[in-house]
Amino acid sequence: MHSLDGKVALITGAAGGLGTAVTKAFLEAGATVAGVSRHIRPDQVLHPNFTAFPADLASGEAARKLTAAVTAQLGRIDALVHVMGGFAGGHSVADTDDATLEQMLETSVATGVNVTVDFKRLTVAEFVQYILDKHHVYTREAMERLDALVKKVVKAHGENHSELLEIRDLMQQLFAELKGHMFKEEQILFPFIVELEQSVLQQRPAPFAPFGSVNNPVRMMMFEHDHAGEILRELRKLSSDYSVPGDACMSYQTLYEALEAFEQDLHQHIHLENNLLFPQAANLEVAIHIQPRINADGRG
């Protein structure tokens, strides 16, 4: 396991020479990186855990928008690395004109202050709450809406489009699995992870785990995520990438649009759990087991 697995780092100035090197080092250490600079492109760094966020941080408002966008997409921000800066070379400071000096200070200092003021590290408990509020609530609402919608569309078009019957059956299978899956996360795994964090923070012994290591339920959840991913792939195939046939009515179109939005949200939801929350849970479990030993050695 890498030392930064499950962490999200926001790196400003990520498109520059130094910023690119820092970004690569964070990615190699296992972090998910939000790379920021004025003109950064998605292909600036080719890595599955890299996301480009073009932004100009000259104002506090822009910095607030940036941190909100990163949190919405990646769920959290654990570390801020402010690399952004600029220096107009060629003259001593005494010979630099006021406008250039002001611009240098703005690029090098003000951007850092703006983004730091708005930077807030989420606890694991807050991150869990974020996943519940943003993704579990949405998933439940969307499943209810989609279930009614697909029944309506099958009734109107099922005879001419037999693939709709398969789509309906797969959706119902996916929804039933997701309901059970989210129930287990909400009732067992997430409360345990939150308790684990509390125990580490307060240097208490590990909470009782009927399932042994936290990695056991995590493995089960990841297996279920993979299965949900397989069903989503099958749905995409059956619906020809969610393209509606020529004779489709408005409900047909709404169904495909809503199903595609559901797919996107579920991918993001699974990404946050698999790549960010679960590695943090594993790290907490390691931390709680080495903590008493450090104290016993008198080095803690």
- Which one, 102 or 230, has the nearer CB to Fe ion? 230
- Which one, 87 or 183, has the nearer CB to Fe ion? 183
- Which one, 163 or 186, has the nearer CB to Fe ion? 186
User: Least distance in Å: CB of 27 to Fe ion?
Assistant: 24
User: Least distance in Å: CB of 120 to Fe ion?
Assistant: 23
> HSE on the CB side for 140, CA within 13 Å?
12
- Which one, 154 or 222, has the nearer CB to Fe ion? 222
- Which one, 15 or 277, has the nearer CB to Fe ion? 277
User: Least distance in Å: CB of 33 to Fe ion?
Assistant: 23
Phi, psi of 88 (to 5 degrees): -80, 100
- Which one, 108 or 274, has the nearer CB to Fe ion? 274
User: Least distance in Å: CB of 186 to Fe ion?
Assistant: 8
User: Least distance in Å: CB of 265 to Fe ion?
Assistant: 11
- Which one, 152 or 227, has the nearer CB to Fe ion? 227
User: Least distance in Å: CB of 135 to Fe ion?
Assistant: 6
User: Least distance in Å: CB of 160 to Fe ion?
Assistant: 36
Name the site residues for Fe ion (rule: CB under 5 A): 185, 273
What is the secondary structure of the chain as a DSSP string?
--TTTT-EEEEETTTSHHHHHHHHHHHHTT-EEEEEETT--TTSS--TTEEEEE---SSHHHHHHHHHHHHHHHS---EEEE------TTS-GGGS-HHHHHHHHIIIIIHHHHHHHT--PPPHHHHHHHHIIIIIHHHHHHHHHHHHHHHHHHHHHTTT-THHHHHHHHHHHHHHHHHHHHHHIIIIIHHHHHHHHHHHHTTPPPPP-TTSSTHHHHHHHHHHHHHHHHHHHHHHHHTTTTPPPTT--HHHHHHHHHHHHHHHHHHHHHHIIIIIIHHHHHHHHHHHHHHHHHHHTT--
